[in-house]
Amino acid sequence: MKTANDVLNGYVILIDKPLTWSSFQAVNKLKYILKHRFDLPKKFKIGHAGTLDPLATGLLIICTGKFTKRITEIQAKPKEYTGTFFIGATTPSYDLETEIDQTFPTTHINEDLIRKTATQFLGEIDQKPPVFSAIKKDGIRLYEHARAGVEVEIASRKTTIYEFEITRINLPEIDFRVVCSKGTYIRSLAFDFGKAMNSGSHLTVLRRTKIGDYHVQNALTPEEFEKTILNPEATA
């Protein structure tokens, strides 16, 4: 990326999204950097290929110019995540956005049960999105219903888990790596995983590591990206 035409003709930017940042914030930050560095039109095209929650980190793919037409194609690619489940407790949001609302027994849980349970989720599964999600119901986002205390019926949807690897067990924490299809909610997977073991679970750490062939190892933080754009010789 060297000129304004490069940006407008189309560019794919790999960003390592920081914790607490929304995907919208990350896009706006890059839009500001690019607009001022290359004196671009105010409404030049830029967008991301798949939202990451503020409490998640990792790969956010941002497309500019004509490459925004590729967003749908990129979003459809399989995604890889790593993270941590906390076993024995649930939260309404299925993650750390809300406080623990219920606790469950864990004395019956051992490594054998954990690994056998993981295999139950391989392949096509039915999954309900979290009540704290951006999906709309009756024109209102689910998290708005949830924060208002309104209960809504959420339909389950088909999703596919291609790989589900347990990488560390140190109860109450379990680390995992998951490769899944578009539309999979890892928060819901955490909740369902605990339920399948006759206990409870919620997500405490989440990092997206891959989308298709794009890897977070090749991504820059917004701060690193800004330094690269403003002073490209420094990274030459």
Q: What is the CA radius of gyration of the chain?
A: 20
Strand partners, 89: 103
Backbone dihedral angles phi then psi of residue 113, each to the nearest 5 degrees: -65, -40
CA distances from 65 to 4, 12, 16, 76, 77 (A): 10, 9, 20, 20, 21
CA distances from 40 to 3, 7, 37, 68, 114 (A): 10, 9, 8, 16, 52
Amino acid, single-letter form, for residue 206? L
Concerning whether 53 is annotated as a catalytic residue, the answer is yes
Catalytic pick among 16, 53, 95, 192: 53
| Contact assessment for residue 16 and residue 59, using Cβ atoms and an 8 Å cutoff | yes
Q: Closest Cα to residue 62, out of 25, 24, 15, 20?
A: 15
| Contact assessment for residue 186 and residue 203, using Cβ atoms and an 8 Å cutoff | yes
What gap in Å lies between CA 51 and CA 75, rounded to an integer? 9
What is the length of the chain?
236
Cβ atoms < 10 Å from Cβ of 124: 10
Instruction: List residues with catalytic annotation.
Output: 53
